[in-house]
Amino acid sequence: MATGFFTDTTLCIGCKACEVACKQWNQLPADGYAFSGNSYDNTMALGGTTWRHVAFVEQPAPLDAPPSESKWLMVSDVCKHCTHAGCLEACPTGAIVRNEFDSVYVQPDVCNGCGYCVPSCPFGVIDMIEHADYTRPSFPSDGRTDDDALQRHGGVAGKCTLCYDRQKVGFTPACAKACPTDSIEFGEVEELKARARTRVATLRARGVDARLYGIDEDNSIGDLNAFFLLTDRPATYNLPERPVLPSTHQPAAYGSAALAALALGAIGCLVFRASAP
């Protein structure tokens, strides 16, 4: 059964309970205490040990404008668990697999830290954890940055597991469990899609410019098991407007290499000829 998230940004209140719950359950290290000045977002991006990220888009409005005209958008971003996942296709070890919940899962003990999945994700989700403790298969990092023994082992790739371990025992993923407004809904993907389509229709009837991101779109990624309801264009939330599956570039790229090799080989054959006796 395919399970996933429907993240309805119109319900998000920016409490970051999902970020905290994710960090806590998955025993991921803190991101530090930097102050970004970018609204209330000091996390700034998903990363190898940051698997939920609440983005804050605080749009200024004139002081005398009615409250309805000011806009403060929030979205809890997460790994999309794509139907056609760039990271999964790129992985040369088979460490990244699709599990029985149809989630894209990194097996940390198989990952060899080659890093090819990182530039292969069109959403910029997966990243390297430099100091990984691969000996603990349930979670890839303890975040120690000064431990020489761990450093020697090299890093691994890290991203949202869709709480594989919690799902195994029938629990809801930590972020969805903690979400106080049900902005993050967890469930069976087809059921979530139906609910999302109804929700969009309702919002539009109320005059809200709502749109779904990640399902019912025509692109090479296919539907996302973690999809979103947005009220502005995707770029506003740092989501790609038109993601492209990297492996679709391969035919042209292999063709380019083959053409060059054939041309050079042919010219080489012309140059390397036995001289006339």
Q: Which of residues 37-76 bind another protein (CB under 8 A)?
A: 37-38, 41, 44-45, 47, 55, 57, 59-60, 71
Q: Residue 248 and residue 203: Cα distance in Å, rounded?
A: 35
Q: Which of 107, 123, 114, 122 is nearest to 158 (CA)?
A: 107
Question: Which two three-digit tokens encode residue 193?
Answer: 């899609």
Region 126-145 residues binding another protein, contact defined as CB under 8 A: 126-128
Stretch that binds another protein, among 1-9, 180-188, 210-218, 246-254 (CB under 8 A): 246-254
The vertex-184 CA angle with 237 and 225, nearest 5°, equals 80
Q: Does 275 bind another protein (CB under 8 A)?
A: yes
Q: Which of 83, 170, 93, 78 is nearest to 124 (CA)?
A: 78
Quickly count: other Cβ atoms within 10 Å of residue 159's Cβ: 27
Question: Which two three-digit tokens encode residue 139?
Answer: 């979670």
Quickly count: other Cβ atoms within 10 Å of residue 252's Cβ: 8
Find the binder of another protein among 11, 20, 110, 203 (CB under 8 A). Answer: 110
Q: Residue 142 and residue 131: Cα distance in Å, rounded?
A: 8
Find the binder of another protein among 20, 42, 102, 154 (CB under 8 A). Answer: 154
Contacts of 71 (CB under 8 A, 6+ apart): 57, 59, 61, 232
Q: Does 208 bind another protein (CB under 8 A)?
A: no
The dihedral over CA atoms of 19, 27, 80, 31, expressed in degrees to the nearest 10, equals 60
Stretch that binds another protein, among 5-13, 22-30, 92-100, 172-180 (CB under 8 A): 92-100
Between 180 and 255, whose beta carbon lies closer to another protein?
255
Q: Does 118 bind another protein (CB under 8 A)?
A: yes
Q: Does 90 bind another protein (CB under 8 A)?
A: yes
Between 20 and 110, whose beta carbon lies closer to another protein?
110
Find the binder of another protein among 27, 99, 172, 236 (CB under 8 A). Answer: 236
User: What is residue 161's three-state secondary structure?
Assistant: coil
Least distance CB 249 / another protein (angstroms): 4
Q: Does 232 bind another protein (CB under 8 A)?
A: yes
Residue count, binding to another protein (CB under 8 A): 81
| DSSP secondary structure letters along 179-193 | -TTSSEEEEEHHHHH
Q: Does 252 bind another protein (CB under 8 A)?
A: yes
Between 25 and 123, whose beta carbon lies closer to another protein?
123
Counting every residue written for the chain, the total comes to: 277
Q: Does 259 bind another protein (CB under 8 A)?
A: yes
Between 153 and 177, whose beta carbon lies closer to another protein?
153
Stretch that binds another protein, among 19-27, 111-119, 171-179, 183-191 (CB under 8 A): 111-119
